Structure 1
Amino acid sequence: MASTASTTQIVSNNETFTIGQYNGFEIIVREKDGFINATKLVQIINEREHTNKQIKKIVQSIMCRDYKQLLSENSVGQNFTQQLLDYQLDNNFSNHVKGTYVHKELLNVVCMKACVNYLHHVTKIMDKINETTITEQEADKTQAVAEQFHIVINTVTDTLSDRFTDLNQQVRQLAPRTVPNGKERTYILMVEEVVEDEQLVEQQEIHITI
């Protein structure tokens, strides 16, 4: 039952939970299965938005139930069932990590139901996608609007995926340096050697680049 916490991880009942981010919100991820503590997420949203949303009502909402059903029907090789998409973690765990855990596929639904500002941002993104879809369809009327919409969505997700891959590669290629490039400085260290018998002083210059 003992629990230890750091800036990035919490250990409780011999399990590790990682503190991460999801679209600007701090989340707690259970390393065992990758599920996210939705209770803590909604608490953070409530504090930020000065609201009083409840994760139990969100998970039981028609929208969430329908989306879980969709995931179950469309899952291929993932063994999705509505019962496996969220669960309670209570006994034998510390208060830091207790709560309702949801599959990562449900995070967006939870945020939209809990945070009106998040919903507003999602709406603006979808409006831009709609504008692009209409423009593309007007340029190529041989494509149905629904088909053009999926083409635009795929283009957006592929572009973001490529950007994510490029950024990961750049991070891995960065050589660790104590001093950034172009910020090096050369210092001169004066060393005096005193010979007691003759009282001679010899000075040496040692150049150190940092």
Structure 2
Amino acid sequence: MSEAIALIDYGAGNLHSVHNALKAAGAQRIAVTADPEIVRGAERIVLPGVGSFRACAQGLKAISGLVEAMEERVMKGGVPFLGICVGMQLLADRGFEHGATDGLGWISGEVHPIERTDPAIKVPHMGWNDVAQMPHHDGAELIEPGEAYFLHSYHFVAEDGHDVAAMTDHGGGLVAAVARDTMLGVQFHPEKSQRYGISLLERFLEWKP
């Protein structure tokens, strides 16, 4: 794999673990960067995210020219994009953690708190859980059925069900992955999901949407 991958560093991601997982999946050229010019030259983009939606959105937008470079490369240039955890949630129009905050608006939807419908259901949703592929979705081939590691208290509510690539069950259905065009977002952590996660990253690195 000789393509340059931009792993976005905006102070809100588990960069070391994601970098190591990408290497384990076969990536050779990974730039951990917040430089818009490097992003514009990347052939694949990975956006991690740990923490609150508001903090991550503010951190990303605070870096001059970074969001514009990402939009230019992904939305106009059509390069494959992977968002992980809050990096996936940022694809939404807005999130409601610590108040309403605008996201990137690349995949229509909102990010809401997980509702505790049963006292036995714990929030945050933490640990291993099943990932169920949604076969109607064009990008579903990237997601295989299996178990992945989750850690989140908020979840993506997609406006269009055809953007949902996978679901998981935690006291009811929660979106585990979204996809549209050249974009994939996963709520779980591939870098913490052992062989299942590495397999996903391998497919992402070979993906030619």
- TM-score, normalised by the number of residues in structure 1: 0.23
Higher strand share: 2
- TM-score, normalised by the number of residues in structure 2: 0.23
Higher helix share: 1
Rg larger for? 1
Q: Which has the higher contact order (CA 8 A, sep 6+)?
A: 2
